Amino acid sequence: MRSISVLSELNHPMTYLTQELAQTELLSNLPDSILEQVAGHATPRLLAAGEVLLTPDQDNAYVYLVLSGALTIHFDTLDSPAIREVAPGGSVGEMSVMDGTRPSAFVVAKVPSRVFGIHRDLIQEMVANTHSVAGNLLRLLTRWLKENTHRIVRDRLQIQELTDHVDVDALTRLYNRRWLDNAMERLLEQSIKGQQGLGVLLIDVDHFKQYNDTHGHQGGDQALVALSNVLKTTVRPYDFATRYGGEEFLVLLPNTTLPEAIATAQRMCDAAQSMAVVSPTGSRLPGITVSIGVAVSDASSTPQSLVAAADAKLYLAKHGGRNSVRF
């Protein structure tokens, strides 16, 4: 036996369909006479679950009103996650009909659905002659643009967050080796072009293996975090502190002379020696010291030669008593 709603539609198709159209956002607040005229232009279309209604590779001349069921919208491919679900009362196809282009996304029936298609010519006629339709369409398009704007902002924030995770060391929250490898060549090129020096400070924690063995890896991690905070607070806003690997750090100092780089390195060395190291439980741990090698670029420098020069000076600091700066 057919349901009452279906029998009603069969026995009084215009009346029932007119009521359904009146419940849609696009045709709300229209006189019954206009709704009856719209209803007389077409009959509802039945869609099976999974049936594709609109695709980016086919022209579209209709705005489809959802009478029952639900449609999903997918960018790129049919297999991509749905970006929006359209419930009864909603509509699809407005943008392609209004600007005369193909749909920008796939529209698929999520479940068995009924839609009512209104041809482009009738839509344009109603927009021109019926203020309610023009206002409804404007509200729909405005909401669609707002939703897309929110989605773009959210996606950009997520991309930025992922990028930060890729380029930032998880423990110290300093830039990591990946970031350094990508950025150093560009910074050096800018320095040479501007006839300015790029300072490199290569920093190593003294006796770190012994510190780890004595206070455990958590204690060692806390020492590295404390040192990273020292580096963040002793560099200028346009300098870059990075975790080079293990207990080694590398700081880039754009537009810097050798005396300026030495002074910065000495401040870091002094601050590291006096900083507090606190365990995860809040107890005080022994402090650490660092050794620092300093190098500043010239017109012939490469990223590799500049790091090698700083590493050679670090070697002198490590074998000359540690807790010192060499240049």
**Distance separating alpha carbons of residues 201 and 111, to the nearest angstrom:** 63
Residue found under tokens 């790129």:
76
**Distance separating alpha carbons of residues 30 and 37, to the nearest angstrom:** 11
Residue found under tokens 């830039």:
175
Instruction: Tell me the pLDDT tens digit for each residue of 68-112.
Output: 999 999 988 888 888 889 999 999 999 899 888 999 999 999 999
> Are the CB atoms for 42 and 88 separated by under 8 Å?
no
Would the CATH topology of 4-158 be identical to that of 177-326? no
Q: Please give the model's pTM, rounded to 2 decimal places.
A: 0.55
Domain boundaries, the chain: 4-158, 177-326
Q: Is the dihedral of CA 302, 305, 311, 313 positive or negative?
A: negative
Active site residue 247: yes
**Distance separating alpha carbons of residues 141 and 136, to the nearest angstrom:** 9
Lowest mean pLDDT among 7-21, 50-64, 115-129, 141-155: 7-21
Q: What is the pLDDT of residue 163?
A: 59
Tokens of 147: 């939703």
For domain 4-158, say whether CATH 2.60.120.10 is its number: yes
141 — pLDDT class (breaks 50, 70, 90): confident
25 — pLDDT class (breaks 50, 70, 90): very high
Average pLDDT, the chain: 90
Instruction: Tell me the pLDDT tens digit for each residue of 168-220.
Output: 999 999 999 999 999 999 999 999 999 999 999 999 999 999 999 999 999 99
> Are the CB atoms for 292 and 276 separated by under 8 Å?
no
Q: Tell whether the model's pLDDT for residue 154 goes beyond 90.
A: no
Portion of the chain with pLDDT greater than 90, in percent: 72
For domain 177-326, say whether CATH 3.40.50.10260 is its number: no
- Which of the following is catalytic: 9, 85, 247, 248? 247
Instruction: Tell me the pLDDT tens digit for each residue of 236-274.
Output: 999 999 999 999 999 999 999 999 999 999 999 999 999
